[in-house]
Chain A
């Protein structure tokens, strides 16, 4: 078991290194010069050259790569060229927003997906089944930005329910202004809840038709008890591990959702970074996201290994 995990961790090191290299080359292939963005239209070519030197942009690319990698090994992600702040400081400020948004999305996805999914699996072809079918179809066929705009239109312009404007000014953390996270979280949750319901439905159907369940029923245990104490419990673990595997997808969705709702998280950091050619920020932020995905994948694998003894640890 421990051996298996160590092996998995060792295996992810070359992947991480490769990710770093891909991100570096990608970002540096972006056309344009950050010095031009920093200085604006009125700068003279001399100013641009001076700044190039200060930012070490005049060095050959391989030198910049070696320098960056060397710094990375020491845990130093460099400084933003536009914001002139250390990238780690920017990440410390942006990451919580993205994590909070993702957690809100996961919780909402669970709150929507688990009961409907369980009921849909327990009573196939019922209204719950149809609801789960409809919701998950919606999550598959509609892009996140469309769902977001639909919610904004509905909640803000039609129902005048929620003030959706930004998380930014209200002190930002989720516990300070949970309302501000509700619509963006719900948008992401729709995409997650759909597949979650279908996974749960399948699991519940399998458990419900098992001999053990049938035995419990025959013993006269109440339906409610059978459903929630036995069927639900057994279907839950695969559902949670499934959610873990969706993290990469969630991180992608975050990019657009943060953009629409002006949330100052990782997605916005990356997109504005790309547009501004703020190399260190994009490199650092994408790496951080990739790192999170790698870690969660590892955890999910480990969980599988713990839960399902059929998986070999070799």
Chain B
């Protein structure tokens, strides 16, 4: 899966020295501030859904089916008379949970594969692992995710695993290439000479220096993961009603596109804003 990368209006950026300076520099860029504000806002909405949302997400009111946006229901109601705004707010959780979870899983899984493959560079295990990663990269990501989610069955957790699988090769590649440069550095050689075991060398010495690019990649991938999860949900995969999810809200209301477009575009805007915000933060962190 390609990493979401936002275009930037300007490319100049100086790396900072101390952490304080880095933070100051980070917030010096207005787009980073926008990203942080959006991300914090979305996280707040998700975590605080039960206090913020005006209604319960599954509180149906059959007499208010497909109501127009109004004072009481800012984004109208769906076919079951449920408040669309509340469902969007609650839907934040499944979207964020899925994307953070999937990226975390891909991060851990991909990094371990990359570490092992890089450390035993040119060995059989390296060859096997990296060929598998190549094969995954060759398959169209969404096709693979659809097939995997179908195999694993309905439910958000299964979608998370599927998304993690399609994201992990990137982490494996980044970590592996970093390991290849680190493993020959003097301090690793020194540890090896001192008789440290493979495990100790890998996790004590190699891991810390390769983890940073992986983290940067992870923050950038969260936005893409939101989009993949929404796309799967759109195809009716990896969801569990009545739990709301943005992609699923779009697909289940698709018949009302001409009659009640807010049912479609409300959750769409939520997707766009969260991808935008989180990706800005990721890029800011990467120091671009």
Knowing A143-B231, A157-B258, the reply to whether A27 touches B147 (Cβ < 8 A) is: yes
Q: Does B146 have its Cβ within 8 Å of any Cβ on chain A?
A: yes
Residues in A whose Cβ lies below 8 Å from that of B9 = 125, 129-130, 133
Instruction: Choose among A23, A26, A146 the residue that contacts B268 (Cβ–Cβ < 8 A).
Output: A146
Report the minimal beta-carbon distance from B68 to chain A, rounded to whole angstroms: 16
Interface string of B132-151 (1 = CB under 8 A from A): 10111111111110111011
Contact: B258 with A145, CB < 8 Å? no
Q: Does A142 have its Cβ within 8 Å of any Cβ on chain B?
A: yes
Report the minimal beta-carbon distance from B57 to chain A, rounded to whole angstroms: 21
Residues in A whose Cβ lies below 8 Å from that of B1 = 252
Contact: A252 with B141, CB < 8 Å? yes
Residues in A whose Cβ lies below 8 Å from that of B257 = 149, 152-153, 157
Contact: A22 with B7, CB < 8 Å? no
Residues in B whose Cβ lies below 8 Å from that of A152 = 257
Residues in B whose Cβ lies below 8 Å from that of A202 = 11
Contact: A15 with B131, CB < 8 Å? yes
The complex places the Cα of A267 from the Cα of B146 at a distance, in Å, of 11
Report the minimal beta-carbon distance from A287 to chain B, rounded to whole angstroms: 9
The complex places the Cα of A248 from the Cα of B144 at a distance, in Å, of 11
Instruction: Choose among A137, A271, A274, A294 the residue that contacts B7 (Cβ–Cβ < 8 A).
Output: A137
Residues in B whose Cβ lies below 8 Å from that of A22 = 132, 135-136, 139
The binding surface of chain A is classed by DSSP as: helix
Q: Does A227 have its Cβ within 8 Å of any Cβ on chain B?
A: no
Interface string of A244-274 (1 = CB under 8 A from B): 0010110111111001000000010011001
Closest to B148 in A: A26
Knowing A133-B9, A153-B258, A271-B146, the reply to whether A141 touches B272 (Cβ < 8 A) is: yes
Instruction: Choose among A18, A142, A246 the residue that contacts B131 (Cβ–Cβ < 8 A).
Output: A18
Give the size category of A's interface with B. Answer: 35 or more
Residues in A whose Cβ lies below 8 Å from that of B223 = 140-141
The complex places the Cα of A116 from the Cα of B235 at a distance, in Å, of 33
Residues in A whose Cβ lies below 8 Å from that of B247 = 143, 145
Q: Does B261 have its Cβ within 8 Å of any Cβ on chain A?
A: yes
Contact: A252 with B140, CB < 8 Å? yes
Q: How many A-B residue pairs have CB under 8 A?
A: 152
Interface string of A126-164 (1 = CB under 8 A from B): 000110110011001111111001101100110000000
Residues in A whose Cβ lies below 8 Å from that of B5 = 140, 195
Contact: A132 with B7, CB < 8 Å? yes
Closest to B229 in A: A143
Residues in B whose Cβ lies below 8 Å from that of A157 = 257-258
Contact: A252 with B138, CB < 8 Å? no
The complex places the Cα of A297 from the Cα of B138 at a distance, in Å, of 9
Report the minimal beta-carbon distance from B119 to chain A, rounded to whole angstroms: 22
Residues in A whose Cβ lies below 8 Å from that of B268 = 142, 146, 149-150
Interface string of A8-39 (1 = CB under 8 A from B): 00000011101100110011011100000000
Which residues from 246 to 261 on chain B have a C-beta closer than 8 Å to any C-beta of chain A? Answer: 247, 250-251, 254, 257-258, 261
Q: Does B276 have its Cβ within 8 Å of any Cβ on chain A?
A: yes
Q: Does B102 have its Cβ within 8 Å of any Cβ on chain A?
A: no
Report the minimal beta-carbon distance from B247 to chain A, rounded to whole angstroms: 7
Contact: A141 with B276, CB < 8 Å? yes
Residues in B whose Cβ lies below 8 Å from that of A142 = 268, 271-272, 275
Contact: A145 with B231, CB < 8 Å? yes
Closest to B127 in A: A14
Knowing A149-B264, A157-B258, A251-B140, the reply to whether A256 touches B148 (Cβ < 8 A) is: no
Residues in A whose Cβ lies below 8 Å from that of B279 = 140-141
Knowing A15-B138, A143-B227, the reply to whether A137 touches B143 (Cβ < 8 A) is: no
Instruction: Choose among B7, B144, B250 the residue that contacts A198 (Cβ–Cβ < 8 A).
Output: B7
Report the minimal beta-carbon distance from A3 to chain B, rounded to whole angstroms: 20
Q: Does B155 have its Cβ within 8 Å of any Cβ on chain A?
A: no
Q: Does B234 have its Cβ within 8 Å of any Cβ on chain A?
A: yes
Instruction: Choose among B11, B141, B265 the residue that contacts A248 (Cβ–Cβ < 8 A).
Output: B141
Report the minimal beta-carbon distance from A203 to chain B, rounded to whole angstroms: 13
Q: Does B217 have its Cβ within 8 Å of any Cβ on chain A?
A: no
Residues in B whose Cβ lies below 8 Å from that of A197 = 7
Q: Does B37 have its Cβ within 8 Å of any Cβ on chain A?
A: no
The complex places the Cα of A141 from the Cα of B279 at a distance, in Å, of 9
Contact: A140 with B231, CB < 8 Å? no
Contact: A143 with B234, CB < 8 Å? yes
Q: Does A305 have its Cβ within 8 Å of any Cβ on chain B?
A: no
Interface string of A25-60 (1 = CB under 8 A from B): 011011100000000000000000000000000000
Q: Does A240 have its Cβ within 8 Å of any Cβ on chain B?
A: no
Contact: B131 with A14, CB < 8 Å? yes
Residues in A whose Cβ lies below 8 Å from that of B137 = 248
Residues in B whose Cβ lies below 8 Å from that of A141 = 4, 6, 223, 271-273, 275-276, 279
Question: Given A29-B151, A145-B234, A146-B250, 12 more contacts at CB 8 Å?
Answer: A18-B131, A30-B150, A140-B4, A142-B271, A143-B247, A144-B231, A149-B257, A157-B257, A271-B235, A290-B138, A293-B138, A293-B140
